[in-house]
Structure 1
């Protein structure tokens, strides 16, 4: 069995993007908007599914997403908008899903078009609540998409910075490296650099866990802890992530790669991090419900905490940071007391 991740820098790739065929974006949030802008730098046309028709109407009128990244303008003549998911998918070959994981099942509930012969690309850094499935496994088990037809976008990539053309590094993971290379060409430009790997599950689980750890970081900052401790927390977080990944999906990976550690750091430190802000609100004394209402957006780590906790009931990996966040979010543990106890477990 080949345990190599196959990380390959994009600069060595020469793959025909036309293999990807017609492209469709599924989702209407900030990351979907940033990805659409990137794709349109290489493609003359895209399909774009948004659930809300009023958002589509406003987008066409204004020339930009009316709710997210409103300073990013589009040539709407290059976009086939629709709020009919079957129409959007039926007329595309490569589907880029950028829907928050808690809503993905609902978005697909009316789907009648087969996904089996499509290239499914998930840019969703979350896990399916209720099923406790990473998104690639969800498409594989529920929609019978073969693993070589599923790719994942990972890495430190806040949409707000991508929209401002700040230099960003992404990783496209797929068990079929040729497809990963083809898709990475679509994302590569002057401000986005891309590598590829085969570690689909590792990248997905890592992207779920980094949200959990960012919530912990936010709680600590809300409680008044400083940068010195923050560094210790995130150092312990990457070690905890490594132990979990090696148990659920053993592979010869290096968690210091940007797709793992880099994503953890940007989510734990950045002002754009929803999960960090969510945790910060809790640390400042808001209830979990109050913090969610204050956010106005989805903090994927809230759902990811419960899913990973339940998965780990079977795996039995020692994960004190995950356990502390779970107790605060789901067992009404006092944040100050619980996080104080956790400090005794860190090194």
Structure 2
């Protein structure tokens, strides 16, 4: 008996969205892929040349011309599974014409590692609030996995989380390739919060690197970060079966904190070297989710009365304009 043909839509056209287009294109399951590309000129370029002109331009786009669209509402209408893959700060704009009715009956997957500014909600919570999507119909894609290594077909790993084991298995099956291994989880909320936090910790690591701190201090910083992460996710969503040393938590933290491809580490390094936030953003021309998450997580800290000194230190540097070297020196006295 043949497998049913799935219709899968990707909302977003950055590096991670382009990497997921590659995964889907290299996956052997029968499917139709629909891709929302924000800019008309980028969509036209991709249709003609089969490459994203701005991100991962070496990746061949295996999406039919008629399936590359500039209206998110149209992509969602054509899809059974919708993967949201924009920066968290731009999600509302991407979905501005979309209603709860458009998402009805769809499996909606977040590949976004951030918090929606203003609402201070992780993506899964935002989808439930704004579009009344049941938690069972929401999935999360987590690492450890960088888009650049996917483009190079380096062996990589994804964790797919959903409260529905059937949906988790279905999503995982569409992303699995010879260079992508997938595992499944039911820890939707914990994995989303971990993905938010690891960007902040990677930014902290970058700041320390930019200031000239060495590998010894970085190791101390990240070992403290994983304990902070565990305290936070357990406070927000108590889950006795969660194992913080699994790849979706510790693994994703490590690759984001240390990889040359980590935009959060790069952003932090620039801040540590003396760049202003604005100049670092302009030079990178990419979104470092940790910057926005740093402000949003302060509301979570206050709500749950959490002690997260690394998160506090990053916030002081980025938003309160404290001296980076003085903040990190003070932080170093609290680390064990």
TM range (shorter): over 0.9
Q: Give the aligned partner of residue 16 of structure 2.
A: 31
Would the aligned equivalents of 2:8 and 2:31 in 1 still touch at CA under 8 Å? no
Normalising by structure 1, report the TM-score. 0.93
The yes-or-no answer on 1:220 pairing with 2:211 is no
Rounded to whole Å, the distance in 1 between the matches of 2:197 and 2:144 is 13
Query: Which secondary structure state, in structure 2, belongs to the residue aligned with residue 40 of structure 1?
Result: helix
Structure 1 window deviating more from structure 2 (299-308 vs 85-94): it is 85-94
Quote the offset at 1:78 in angstroms.
7.0
Contact 2:46 2:61 in 1 (8 A): no
Q: What is the match of residue 8 of structure 1?
A: none
Map 1:223-234; keep pairs closer than 5 Å.
223-234=211-222
Q: Distance in 1 between matches of 2:322 and 2:277?
A: 11
Matches of 1:17 and 1:38 in 2, distance apart? 21
CA offsets, 1:190-213, max 9 Å, x none?
111111011000000000000000
- Out of 328, 333, 342, the residue aligned to residue 317 of structure 2 is 328
Q: 1:189 aligns with which of 173, 177, 195?
A: 177
CA contact (8 A) 2:136 2:164 kept: yes
1:17 Cα deviation from its structure 2 partner = 10
Distance 2:10 2:158 in 1: 18
- The residue correspondences of 1:44-83 to structure 2 (distance < 5 A) are 44-77=31-64, 80-83=67-70
Structure 2 counterpart of 1:86: 73
Instruction: Indicate if the aligned counterparts of 1:218 and 1:278 stay in contact, CA closer than 8 A.
Output: yes
Counterpart in 2 of 1:7?
none
Within the candidate set 178, 189, 194, 1:206 is matched to 194
The correspondence of residues 136-151 of structure 1 with structure 2, limited to 5 A, is: 136-151=124-139
2:7 matched residue in structure 1: 22
TM-score by length of 2: 0.96
Unaligned runs of 5+ in 2: none
User: Which structure is higher in RCO with an 8 Å CA cutoff and minimum separation 6?
Assistant: 1
Counterpart of 2:246 in structure 1 is: 257
Q: Is 1:118 matched with 2:106?
A: yes
Measured in 2, the distance between the counterparts of 1:70 and 1:335 equals: 35
Partner of 1:103: 90
Distance 1:131 1:115 in 2: 20
> What number of residue pairs does the alignment pair up?
332
Two-structure CA RMSD over aligned residues (Å): 1.5
Q: Is the 8 A contact 2:7 2:31 kept in 1?
A: no
Q: Secondary structure at the match of 2:57?
A: coil
Question: 1:173 is matched with which residue?
Answer: 161
Per the alignment, residue 236 of structure 2 pairs with 248
